[in-house]
Amino acid sequence: MIDLHTHCLFSDGELVPAEHLRRVAVLGYQAVAITDHADSSNLDFIIPRLVQAADRLNPHSTARLIPGIELTHVPPAIFAQLTAQARKLGAQIVVGHGETVAEPVAPGTNRAAIEAEVDILAHPGLISREDAELAAEKGVFLELSGRKGHSLTNGHVAAMARQVGARLVINADAHGPGDFLTGAMAEIVGRGAGLSAEEYAQVRLNMEELAQKAASKDLTG
């Protein structure tokens, strides 16, 4: 298992990074990204602490902690600026909080996040074909979500990705111990969204690719 969109108590999650990492290691995870909710007010607080946690915890864990961030309800006009700042601060995975039908996200957020070239556009709701095409062009991964509410449009996202050749990932958007996905449940999320066995296997490869890309940033700084 790899999950690239989870939250600890640096935003609205329940666990400190050490327990977060330990719990997924026991579940057999290869890697997990902690991507706490952020905007311009707390970006510089969260990311350095997750980088520090990863540096201290990873030598002692069978699962790797990837420091990341989820830019959340950010005005579209400043999405690119905050994405660049997040990467400069050390975020190895940048998630854009997409236009989920479960929250009043500003229209245009999907497009702004894709244009900013985030790594993952989380729960993009009823994403337009034009935005999905741009995600495919820019290599931004679209998320199928395991989280209640956000998952309502998984079937639409999967179908749109198939039509335009956009790439998919599956994440729990976990906020506490009961939210972490097992491998079996992650497959249910994917197959329930309409993915074939072959398409789900490709999603797993996509997750590995993103995790390896993050690992390469450890080596290059």
Residue 182 pLDDT level (bands cut at 50, 70, 90): very high
Q: Domain segments of the chain: what residues?
A: 2-220
**Does pLDDT of 218 surpass 80?**
no
Q: Measure the N-to-C terminal CA separation of the chain; round to a whole number of Å.
A: 25
> What is residue 219's predicted lDDT score, i.e. its pLDDT?
55
The separation between CA 35 and the C-alpha centre of its own chain, rounded to angstroms, equals 7
- The C-alpha atoms of residue 101 and residue 91 are separated, in whole angstroms, by 27
Q: Quote the strand ranges of 74-198, DSSP E.
A: 93-97, 120-122, 141-145, 168-171
Distance CA 149, CA 36 (A): 18
Confidence of residue 217 (pLDDT cuts 50, 70, 90): confident
Q: What count of Cα atoms within 13 Å lies in the side-chain half-sphere of residue 96?
A: 34
pLDDT tens digits, 103-131: 999 999 999 999 999 999 999 999 999 99
Rounded Cα distance between 95 and 67, Å, is: 11
What CATH topology corresponds to 2-220? Answer: TIM Barrel (3.20.20)
**Per-residue pLDDT for 208 more than 90?**
yes
Measured between alpha carbons, how far is 188 from 192 in angstroms, rounded to an integer?
A: 6
- Statement: residue 138 has pLDDT above 80: yes
Tell me what percent of the residues of the chain surpass a pLDDT of 70: 98
pTM: 0.97
Work out the average pLDDT over 171-189.
97
pLDDT for 180 equals 98
**pLDDT, position 178:** 96
Q: What percent of the chain has a predicted confidence (pLDDT) above 90?
A: 97
pLDDT tens-digit profile of 22-68? 999 999 999 999 999 999 999 999 999 999 999 999 999 999 999 99
Mean pLDDT of all residues belonging to the chain:
97
The number of angstroms, rounded, from the C-alpha of 71 to the middle of its chain's C-alpha atoms is 10
